Amino acid sequence: MQLADRIKHIGNHFVDRLDPQVISDAVEYVDFSECKLAIEMLCDQLFEYNVPITSEEYQQLEQLAKETGADTERVEPLQSLVQSSSV
């Protein structure tokens, strides 16, 4: 899967936890070859709205940030949002 598709795919993970328009606005940057900005905005929105994420989602966002050269300081705060998968 190409980088742009992977960013859109991870964005879709949050549709039921974050306003779909917010997600759309963030990942829309991918269509303009701004993958770095898309990841940074998505991370900012997840943190701003205190959206719970899984450790797998965190790892995916971290990897995408590395691949795009996104600011890791935008990803690191998301670690506090990681929820335990045991229910």
So where are the chain's domains? 3-81
Strand partners, 82: 53
**pLDDT tens per residue across span 28-45:** 999 999 999 999 999 999
pLDDT at 7: 96
**Token duo for residue 80:** 């506090």
pTM reported for the whole predicted model: 0.90
pLDDT at 86 over 60: no
At residue 53's C-alpha, the angle toward residues 78 and 14, to 5°, is 110
85 three-class SS: coil
**pLDDT tens per residue across span 34-82:** 999 999 999 999 999 999 999 999 999 999 999 999 999 999 999 999 9
In this structure, are residues 68 and 3 in contact, taking their beta carbons and an 8 Å threshold? yes
**Token duo for residue 55:** 């450790």
pLDDT at 84: 72
pLDDT at 85: 57
